[in-house]
Amino acid sequence: MNLDLNNLLRDWPHEPGQIKVRKILGNDGKEKLQLRIDLGLIQMDVAGRPDGQRPHGVESLLAYHQARAGKKTEEGESYALSAEDCGELQQEGIQYYHRYISFFQLNDYAGVIRDTQRNLDLFDFTSKHAEREDLAAAMEQFRPYVLMMNTRAKASIELDRGDFDAAVRLIEKGRAKIVAVYQEMNALEGAEKSPEVAFLDEWMQEVRARRPLSKLEMMQRDMENAIALEAYEQAAVLRDAIRAYSRKNS
């Protein structure tokens, strides 16, 4: 058997700056994701832990530690994550990162929401249970990015439905959550320089620009144009129509 990966990758070249993902059917009959990287590829299961492992017989290390922490809480005891525990959990979180950026590339927004929420749960858990603050901070630094990706997925679903207003509301909500992270860290200047906040601001402007005008907005625009052209009779007709429409739909 020839084990040289070049035989597999020759027809799927890596392109710097591009995320290249595909779905394949694994030998186990289940779908897999493949993410092309510069020196090869990463293959992931689409559900459960991305590498298909079940540490300690459960879905993930996070699930394992959550169960142990819950039992300790029931017994009235505290639960502390060591530096080694946090390191292992962070490595596991990177697996989910690789998978949710792959899902996003494939427009599988439900998968992105699921895996980003999973990593947000990881940050909450380590923030509560890490034995040292610096261990929790090592995870927390990634929260703005994960919140941004979670927001992008949720808003993209609404855009696919054509609900631009709902998408804008979700973007605003996601932005506020990111700013709140910096507020909690007493680092508001970080929010001003945050690439995640900047991205959402720019995207929100694009979404608003693309949003079709409602019937009422079109009537108001036509009235303003009529006034500008000094077509006052037409403007008066439009004014009355706007009032009637507003009463009918209030």
Do residues 171 and 159 touch, judged by C-beta distance below 8 A?
A: no
pLDDT at site 55:
96
pLDDT tens sequence for the chain (250 residues): 677 888 788 889 988 888 999 999 999 999 999 999 998 999 999 999 999 999 999 999 999 999 999 999 999 999 999 999 999 999 999 999 999 999 999 999 999 999 999 999 999 999 999 999 999 999 999 999 999 999 999 999 999 999 999 999 999 999 999 999 998 887 777 788 899 999 999 999 999 888 877 777 788 888 898 899 888 888 888 888 888 878 887 7
Do residues 81 and 129 touch, judged by C-beta distance below 8 A?
A: yes
pLDDT at site 234:
86
Tokens standing for 135? 């261990």
Query: Residue 246 corresponds to which amino acid?
Result: S
CA-based angle 159:146:12, to the nearest 5? 80
DSSP character for 213? P
b/e per residue 64-78 (b: at least 16 CB within 10 A) = bbbeebeeeeeeeee
Tokens standing for 54? 């079940």
Q: How far apart are CA 41 and CA 9, in angstroms?
A: 8
Q: Establish how many alpha carbons lie within 13 A of residue 117's alpha carbon, considering only the half-sphere containing its beta carbon.
A: 8
pTM: 0.84
Spatial CB neighbours of 36, under 8 Å, sequence gap ≥ 6: 9, 12, 14, 20, 21
Reduce the secondary structure of 187-208 to three states and give it as a string. Answer: CHHHHHHCHHHHHHHHHHHHHH
pLDDT at site 1:
62
Give CA separation, 90 vs 61, 63, 83, 86, in Å.
10, 13, 10, 6
Give CA separation, 234 vs 216, 218, 225, 243, in Å.
16, 14, 10, 14
Do residues 165 and 159 touch, judged by C-beta distance below 8 A?
A: no
pLDDT at site 185:
82
Kindly tell me the burial class for residue 243, based on how many C-beta atoms sit within 10 Å of its own C-beta (0-12, 13-18, 19 or more).
Answer: exposed
Query: Residue 182 corresponds to which amino acid?
Result: Y
